[in-house]
Structure 1
Amino acid sequence: MAARRRTGTVIDRGRELAADLSQLVAAAPGGPTQASQAPFDGTLVGDVPVCSTHDVDAAVATARSAQQHWAGMPVAERRAVIRRFRELLLGREQDILDLVQAESGKSRLSAFEELADVVLTADYYERTAERYLRPSRRKGAAPVLTRATEYRVPKGVVGVISPWNYPLTLAVSDALPALLAGNGIVLKPDSQTPFTALLMLKLLRRAGLPEDLFQIVTGPGTAIGPALIERVDFLMFTGSSKTGKAVARQCGARLIGFSAELGGKNPMLVLADADHGKAASGAVHACFSNSGQLCVSIERIYAHTDVYDSFLAAFVAEVKGIRIGAGRDWDIGMGSLISEAHVERVDNHVQDALAKGAQLLAGGRRRPDLGPSFYEPTVLAGVTEDMLLAREETFGPVVAVYRAVDDDEAVALANDSDFGLNASVWSARHGETAARKLLTGTVNVNEGYAATWASHDAPIGGMKDSGAGRRHGREGILKYTEPQTIAVQRLLRVAPAAGMSNRAYARIMKGAITLVGRFPRSR
């Protein structure tokens, strides 16, 4: 009864917060609506409009008009807005966590990780934006005579399509550097988790962001996603590799920029010299944070044969001790999955593996006693290539553990995938050496995913089918700009002077080019 009361408190508070947010959607009044349901118990969080393509047209046009003024503002004034937004986030911590949990079903700690990430992202780009965006001198065509300067011009209106698994982080963290770079934003959050994004918009406007600059459209991605891509000047997408490729084709046809974080089948390597106890504890967080619904979470573990048995025993024991539940209790280790449909997909991977001979070491069951979308953290061994679990992204609390004959085999097996998003290596002495051999955009040594994700000054993203472009760091803000070179020529043109023959000009230029080539080059 106490657990149900705590769950009800979270959902009730989420419902209260959602009540006045749907009016922020950029939709014409009187249209259809769609329901957002709480994964914890299936009850209604709230209804939001279903936007039409006409609504998308209007949203982009509104943001475009406001963007022109915003781009003309000094970067310092844009920074001040983001700084105030950061303070509002910290001041509304409990409300934000309640709404994130109500919409996504995740644990309190996983919800807090989202809030912390957005605060740190806001802080990083607020402090560094001016440095990244300031004009920079480049070497001109002729020393002294040519002054070349690189400027950074905003793309215009940036479209952001964000998923349900991180309704706070992935709706806002990509928008913040785009705003600081001088762009307008049109965001389409996932239909299952629209209200967290709408609360963020409310706080941004309270922080001083011009009302028209950031627009949110809601509705099915298949209906309004293509319409959004047809109208914006750049697209940031987070989602599956299959959808990402379709989005990339549409962006390519329009010759607009595109950045995407896509799927992963992320490996963890436990090398021969690893501390198996620390590796087991790290694997629990790496595999089951956010109920395994994390693009960078671990779904494959390769343990060196010398430590395989001790690691596996410690890991399975810790997995069996994970507390599953709902509500505000900070001691809950894992929350709900997003929906019953997603539970069905996850369970299908598990049952397919078991039917084909895999061994169940922990979990493997739905938990309807806790709620409609709960599933136990699951560990399997004996997974073979004919199983769905071997290569397809499960995106849930399921991990397969494999024995590797040596460290080199562990690296080779880890690289044998169409995906290349994130990896983890556990080792006392050889972690970084092994990490350099892995074909993934990020590698965490003696950590699962948080070390690279929280290093906001360093770029993150995927190789192979796991994405294109990067978020975070210098790349995470400059991708929202176009480089523009302006060269000012003094005294002499880069052409024959008056009265000079073309042949004489060519001879002089050849001498100058030869002379330049003899000067030592700066490193």
Structure 2
Amino acid sequence: MFLSKTLYRNIHLIQRNQRQFSNIIKAFATVDPNNLSKKDQGLNLVNGVWSSTKATTQLIDPMNGNVIATQADTSLDEIKPFVDEMAQTPKTGLHNPFKNKERYLMLAEVNRKLVESFNDKEVFDFFIKAIQRVCPKSTAQATGELQVTIDFFKNFCGDNVRYLASSFGSPGDHQGQSTNAYRFPYGAVSVITPFNFPLEIPVLQMMGALYMGNKVLVKPDVKTALPLEQFIRLLHHCGLPKTDLSLIYSNGPVMEKILQQGNVRQTLFTGSSKIAEQLSKNLRGKVRIEDAGFDWKILGPDVPKSQQEIDYVAWQCDQDAYGHTGQKCSAQSILFVHKNWKKTNFYDTLKSQAEKRSLEDQTIGPVLSWTNQQIQDHVDKVKSMKAAELLFGGEALQGHSIPPQYGAYKPTAIKVPIYRFANRKQRSTLLTELFGPFQVIVEYGDQNVDQVLKIMENMTHHLTAAVVSNNPQFVDKILQNTVNGTTYTGLRARTTGAPQNHWFGPSGDPRGAGIGSKEAIKLVWSHHREIISDIGPIKESWSLPDPK
């Protein structure tokens, strides 16, 4: 059978594109996530140049303690290039609605090329594995993180980068006068991100900062910086100028000194509340914060009639509490369950789902910020409260090689009576976030709804929440009296799994940051500038008046 010339040419083009795709990784990658060793390096990027430091640190595999890379470790006497780069960045940024407008289109083209790069399965799998090597999570969890990141880039192709800087105006008081509002960058900005989402959080924030015209210094958690460095190298391959952003491997005090000496004008911090408050004070308020969240879910009185729906709610509760080993700022920390649910097999299903989690498929994994002893101390403290009941878990995992500086703990749930929250000391313990596979469960009745709302009022963080109910009056009462920044309602309500298509961020704090959406980008990475044009003419009848 003979092929037509057109068909033959098309097949040839497809084969050539496939060969090009297979070379993408060779073009940007400096490591193989499947074969990492101490010979692999993590490097700083400053002034467009990749470089190491005098001292280095070893990156440890969280699953077995082996050394999988050697990383830069920036000291205080090596910060001058970073300080100078930030200090020399103009307040007007790299671009703004009046300056270097072609950069809006350039960044959109970088986005397009990056999205196309991920059509190559090898590139997609490269980053899945890179995430899992430094921050063990199931393939589904890692895929979700990467897919949200790719979808974010899809959202800002074409004209959508410049649309972020769209102006609006209104007529003036007289002929020749008009007023227009613009979104201007800050100039030198920084992003400080945690370990739990090695790609999604830093990439979405740093790109949002770039879109608005800022020059960005990114400091990821050094335990999980490897995927981000490789992603930045891919961005360079897709056309991002190497001088647009910088990357630093350092500890917190070193980064803080750069921010102070470099007069960085805006910092986005994602991480612990303690560090957030410290930065807020030391940087004189020039911060946006997405700090720790103690997130609640409430199952309403309207129990679903079908077993499928009950199973779905139990499955979602397990996902929210224990997905990625509970190491999400949106993880379900406390679950309020109406007594009507006791008539179902909800608790049995929740326990069954939790006990299916395994180190083998990484549906449970290392806890990177709590040791087993710290976890056990907190579990014992809650468990010792009068009438508290351990539903499942409550002990460390066995038969693994996870190094002792990390936790390895079974998914755990403890049910406590609602009256325990009346005691201030016990309430403080119950509302303490354990950043791992742990949740508190509280049963309530119709007469206790106001008590539940008071508990929510006493919480100090208001990131995500879920009202699992299709009863509009019940949902409305809960929403009237709570302030969580990202709140899900309805039978399928969840606390985790936020995509890129809606606001995700805390509420109730003027420093609160958002991520992913155009509203979040404009809020965090730009400021309002009003320009009033008044060109005349001056009326012929006007004459010089006396001073007023």
Task: Look up the match of 1:380.
Answer: 414
1:269 aligns with 2:337: no
Q: Is the 8 A contact 2:44 2:248 kept in 1?
A: no
The answer for the alignment partner of 1:106 in structure 2 is 137
For the 8 Å contact 1:177–1:477, the answer to whether it is kept is: yes
Residue in 2 aligned with 1:179? 210
Task: State the 1:73 CA deviation.
Answer: 4.4
**Paired residues of 2:134 and 2:226 also in contact (CA < 8 A):** yes
**Which moves more between the two structures, 400-409 or 102-111?**
400-409
User: 1:424 corresponds to which residue?
Assistant: 466
Quick one: structure 1 residues 117 and 44, their matched pair in 2 at CA, closer, same or farther if it must change by over 3 Å? same
**Could you tell me which residue of structure 2 aligns to residue 458 of structure 1?**
502
Matches of 2:475 and 2:164, distance apart in 1 = 29
2:312 alignment partner, SS class = helix
Match of 2:444 in 1: 404
Residue type at the aligned position of 1:93: F
Residue range with higher mean Cα deviation, 95-104 or 464-473: 464-473
SS in 2 for 1:130: helix
- One-letter amino acid matched to 1:23: L
Q: 1:138 aligns with which of 148, 154, 170?
A: 170
Question: 1:175: Cα distance to partner?
Answer: 0.8
Q: Which stretches in structure 2 are left out of the alignment for 5+ residues?
A: 1-30, 305-309
Aligned residue in 1 for 2:494: 448
Q: Which runs of 5+ in 1 are unaligned?
A: 1-10, 504-523
Identity, % of aligned positions: 19
Aligned to 2:36: 16
Q: Compute the RMSD of aligned alpha carbons.
A: 2.9
The 10-residue stretch of structure 1 (359-368 or 310-319) with the greater mean CA deviation from structure 2 = 310-319
Cα–Cα, structure 1 residues 320 and 149, in superposed 2: closer, same or farther, change >3 Å? closer
Q: What is aligned with 1:81?
A: 110
Greater fraction of residues in helix = 1
Matched-pair contact (CA < 8 Å) for 1:229–1:235: no
1:487 and 2:487 matched: no
Deviations 1:203-229 (A, max 9, x none): 111111111221111121133234335
User: Measured at CA, do residues 66 and 490 of structure 1 come closer, stay the same or move farther in structure 2, by a change above 3 Å?
Assistant: closer
| Number of the residue aligned with 1:306 | 340
- For 1:488, the aligned partner's letter is S
Amino acid at match of 1:48: Q
Measured at CA, do residues 208 and 135 of structure 1 come closer, stay the same or move farther in structure 2, by a change above 3 Å? same
Task: Report the counterpart of residue 518 of structure 2 in structure 1.
Answer: 474
Q: Distance in 1 between matches of 2:530 and 2:37?
A: 47
Asked whether 1:499 is paired with 2:524, we answer no
Deviations 1:322-346 (A, max 9, x none): 22114xx4xx53333226x543332
- Contact in 2 for aligned 1:63/1:212 (Cα 8 Å): no
Judging changes above 3 Å, is the alpha-carbon distance between structure 1 residues 65 and 201 closer, same or farther for their aligned structure 2 residues? farther
Deviations 1:330-389 (A, max 9, x none): xx53333226x5433322211222234432111112113133242111111126444564
> For the structure 1 residues 178 and 465, does the alpha-carbon distance in structure 2 shift closer, same or farther, using more than 3 Å as the test?
closer
Q: Could you say which residue in structure 1 is the equivalent of 2:372?
A: 343
Q: Deviations over 1:406-458 (max 9, x none)?
A: 2444334333311211111111223642334322111112321346x21x343
Which of 165, 182, 187 aligns to 1:156? It is 187
In 2, Cα distance between equivalents of 1:280 and 1:101 = 26
2:442 is paired with a residue of what secondary structure?
Answer: strand
Given that 2:166 and 2:183 are in contact with CA atoms closer than 8 Å, whether structure 1 keeps it comes out as yes
Name which of structure 1's ranges 156-165 and 121-130 shifts more when overlaid on structure 2: 121-130
- 1:415 — aligned with what? 457
Q: What TM-score do you get using the length of structure 1 for normalisation?
A: 0.84
- The CA distance in 2 between the partners of 1:250 and 1:126, in whole Å, is 37
Q: Is the 8 A contact 1:284 1:319 kept in 2?
A: yes
Q: Structure 2 counterpart of 1:360, which letter?
A: L
**1:271-290 → structure 2 map (5 Å cutoff):** 271-275=300-304, 276-290=310-324
Asked if the contact 2:191/2:269 (under 8 Å) is kept, the reply is yes
Q: Report the Cα distance in structure 2 between the residues aligned to 1:466 and 1:19, rounded to whole angstroms.
A: 45
Whether the 8 Å CA contact 1:350–1:389 is kept in 2: the answer is: no
* Residues 1:389 and 1:61: Cα distance change in structure 2 (over 3 Å): same
User: Could you tell me the TM-score, scaled by structure 2's length?
Assistant: 0.80
1:51 alignment counterpart: 74
Equivalent residues, number: 481
Shift of 1:200: 1.4
Quick one: distance in 2 between partners of 1:467 and 1:291?
28
- Aligned CA distance change for structure 1 residues 48 and 236 (closer, same or farther; 3 Å): same
Cα separation, 1, equivalents of 2:129 and 2:169: 48
| Secondary structure in structure 1 of the residue aligned to 2:183 | strand
Aligned residue in 1 for 2:234: 203
In structure 1, what residue type is equivalent to 2:283?
C
How far residue 19 of structure 1 moved from its aligned partner, in angstroms, is 5.4
Using the TM superposition, name which of 404-413 and 39-48 deviates more: 404-413
CA distance in 2, matches of 1:14, 1:228: 36
Report the AA paired with residue 263 of structure 1. Answer: A
Moved more, 423-432 or 239-248: 423-432
Once the two structures are TM-superposed, the CA of residue 110 in structure 1 deviates from its matched residue by 1.5
Q: Secondary structure at the match of 1:174?
A: helix
Name the structure 1 match of 2:21.
Answer: none
Q: How far 1:149 sits from its partner (Å)?
A: 1.8
| Distance of aligned partners of 1:405 and 1:484 in 2 relative to their CA distance in 1, 3 Å threshold | same
Which amino acid in 1 is paired with 2:434?
Answer: T
Letter in 1 for 2:445: V
Q: For the residues of structure 2 that align with 1:153 and 1:88, how far apart are their CA atoms?
A: 31
Distance 1:412 1:277, change over 3 A: farther
